[in-house]
Structure 1
Amino acid sequence: MLRVAVCHPDDADGQQMTQQLRRIGCHVQAFWPPLPVLPELTDVVFLAVRPDSIDMNFEWFNADEGPTIIAVVNYENPTIVEIVLRIGAKATLPSPVRSFGLLSALVVARQVHGDLKAQKRQLRKLSGKVLGVRRIEEAKNVLMRSRSISEAKAYDLLREQAMSKRVSIEEIAQTILNANEILSLGKT
């Protein structure tokens, strides 16, 4: 069951959203004003965005493991659009709220949020891989200089050490770089 926080005044729109979300099977909690810390395990937040929201700044906005945010807007202007972007909203819902469109906004926002999280994970993984390749290159250069061996032989040494110690080649490369840094301290 999807856990939804509705951060909206308790007016017709707030009540309409809460009722519709419950009808589609969500566990809904309503709050106004928005909470600086959301209830644990909140999946989605429907957040009323108003001109007085300009100073709102909560940790759960744009958090990597934060909830999907859907902005509820009652009019558009540059200030409102800027707030919607700043809070990391993945969809907007126009006010007055109707039952039509709420489910679509919810599904699209959850999909976009999930896709972005997956892309961020992939980016972190690839960044780590690039850093690992860079460390391996640096470690090979250290071995080539210190032992007067070829690049292929240096790589073979790294690989053999990694296999014998049952660790990644990147870990062996980092160990060599750390040792080289310690041994080089007095040589400047």
Structure 2
Amino acid sequence: MTAWARGLFEDLRTLRVLVIHPPGEDRNVLEEQLRRLGCPLRAIWPFPSQVPGDADAVFFHVGPEARSTGHWSAADTSATLIALSDYENPTALKMLLDTQAHGVITKPYRSTGILSTLVLARAAARYQQRLQNKVVKLEEAIKARRQIERAVRVLVEAHRLTENEAYEQIRTRATELRATVGEISAMVIDAHEAMEKLGLSKPAKIAR
């Protein structure tokens, strides 16, 4: 067995799996195969109103119960979501799209295919999370850049500095205080706004 395969099965053995499905033969098939994989497993019914927060992977039944309990979405949880669908009609497909499930298994459920669906769904969920983290970091970088630019304009207006001189002032203070340029920029803006509120500073015309 390769190192990659060993890592895969070790991950599965610690993966907390939740099955949300009515009791019966279909659920039994899922539970039996997941137990063979060594996953810590539990099953619940009726359908909960929110995605449970104590599971790493959730197999959930897509039916009227899911629609009546509210909107489920992969965006609301870090768990891998795998939909269990009875039919492939427009209503079921719309619900699948709404949940943004990472994988789907359709009836009749069989022991074959569950492992591959789980592995691919886990990979898709991790990729989605990496993309989301990149988006968050990019948004934070854009926000920090705008804040720095605004702080520079404050110093230019208040102290008749050039933009380069104002930025160097911020960068120097950041080095001295062991802070980031963004943090010092926020301090400059907060101080400027406080002085304005007290009527102790001439308001600068700053684009927000």
| 1:180 Cα deviation after fit | 1.1
| 1:108 Cα deviation after fit | 1.0
| 1:41 Cα deviation after fit | 3.0
Q: 1:170 aligns with which of 143, 161, 182?
A: 182
Q: Deviations over 1:30-86 (max 9, x none)?
A: 11212346665311111111134322226x743444311111111111111111122
Match of 1:82 in 2: 94
Question: How far apart are the structure 2 equivalents of 1:152 and 1:12?
Answer: 72
**CA RMSD of superposed structures (Å):** 1.8
- Of the structure 1 ranges 129-138 and 115-124, higher mean CA displacement relative to structure 2 is found in 115-124
- The TM-score normalised by the length of structure 2 is 0.83
Task: Count matched residues.
Answer: 187
Q: What amino acid is aligned across from residue 119 of structure 1 in structure 2?
A: L
| 1:114 Cα deviation after fit | 1.1
Structure 1 regions of 5+ residues with no counterpart? none
Q: Are the aligned partners of 2:86 and 2:107 in contact in 1 as well (CA < 8 Å)? A: yes
State the 4+ residue runs in structure 1 displaced beyond 6 angstroms: none
Question: How far apart are the structure 1 equivalents of 2:77 and 2:18?
Answer: 16
Match of 1:11 in 2: 24
Q: 2:191 aligns with which of 174, 179, 187?
A: 179
Match of 1:103 in 2: 115
Structure 2 regions of 5+ residues with no counterpart? 1-13, 204-208
Q: Are the aligned partners of 2:47 and 2:65 in contact in 1 as well (CA < 8 Å)? A: no
Question: How far apart are the structure 1 equivalents of 2:53 and 2:140?
Answer: 30
